[in-house]
Amino acid sequence: MPLQAMRIPALAAGACAASGCRGVQSALDPAGPAAATIAQTWWLMAAGATLVLALVLALLWYTLARRQDGADFRHGTRVIVLGGLVLPTAALIALLVYGTDAGRRVMAMDEAVDLVVEVEGRQWFWTFHYLDDGGARVASTVNTLALPRGRMVEFRVSSVDVIHSFWIPRLGGKIDAIPGRTNTLRLRADLEGRMRGQCAEFCGLQHARMAFDVVSWPGERFDAWLADDARPSPTPSPPPVELPAARTPATPSQSTGTPTQ
């Protein structure tokens, strides 16, 4: 590729890195293997879509230019077979093969699990229960998830009321939290620091408040925290938030300001 042509993707990647793509909740700023695979797929598909758009525009320009020449369009059948059948079939097969392999890596089902965390969604907060090797709950947190860096964590996600969706964009894909059902998701944080998760399914008027913090610690610090915090899990209670009265639908007889459980 000539140097001039390489400048555009380099500038785009630079601008992306310097601005909107970074951040505590950006899927394009991966902090783990699953999110890295998803981001890689996103960039690949963005590049492919750009290529297809350029090809279509070039063909359109060519067609319009030829019509102005008054020339007849020949080889129509060949263009339809190649452009309408062979090209999409090849592109879709390539995407299917790549996507299947990427999906296997994102799910991480063949990897060993180091820690199990039960995730409970409810209107409108998250509770995280940390299990020991025997499957007993040894600690719980509300709206803050602590993770040991470099260890594979299995999340068992469920809901106590309506359907929510558990999503930490910098670590991987999302999974629905469905009442009466437990869905499993495996994620690993390879970087330390603070990230942000969010409910990704509209679940009621306070849905936008259903965000949570994620802290990724070195393994020793996490172990020490879990050992210190080890105690019977408390009854989940809503975090202390004040609901904006203007956004709470209420009749004059109803009170506002208290989250409904």
- What does the binding site for Cu ion look like in residue numbers (CB under 5 A)? 164, 199, 203, 210
> In sequence order, what are the residues at sequence separation of 6 or more whose Cβ sits closer than 8 angstroms to the Cβ of residue 122?
159, 160, 161, 164, 236, 261
Strand arrangement, sheet containing 137-142 = 137-142, 125-131, 115-122, 152-159, 183-188
Q: How far is the CB of 154 from Cu ion (least distance, A)?
A: 21
Of 166 and 222, nearer to Cu ion (C-beta) is: 166
How far apart are the C-alpha atoms of 129 and 142, rounded to whole Å? 9
Residue 168 carries which side chain, given as an amino acid letter? I
Of 187 and 210, nearer to Cu ion (C-beta) is: 210
Q: How far is the CB of 245 from Cu ion (least distance, A)?
A: 21
Q: How far is the CB of 182 from Cu ion (least distance, A)?
A: 17
Of 148 and 259, nearer to Cu ion (C-beta) is: 259
Read out DSSP for 41-90?
A: HHHHHHHHHHHHHHHHHHHHHHHHHHHHHTPPP--HHHHIIIIIIIHHHH
Of 152 and 160, nearer to Cu ion (C-beta) is: 160
Q: How far is the CB of 8 from Cu ion (least distance, A)?
A: 40
Of 170 and 174, nearer to Cu ion (C-beta) is: 174
Q: How far is the CB of 123 from Cu ion (least distance, A)?
A: 7
Helix axes 33-69, 87-107, angle to 10 degrees: 170
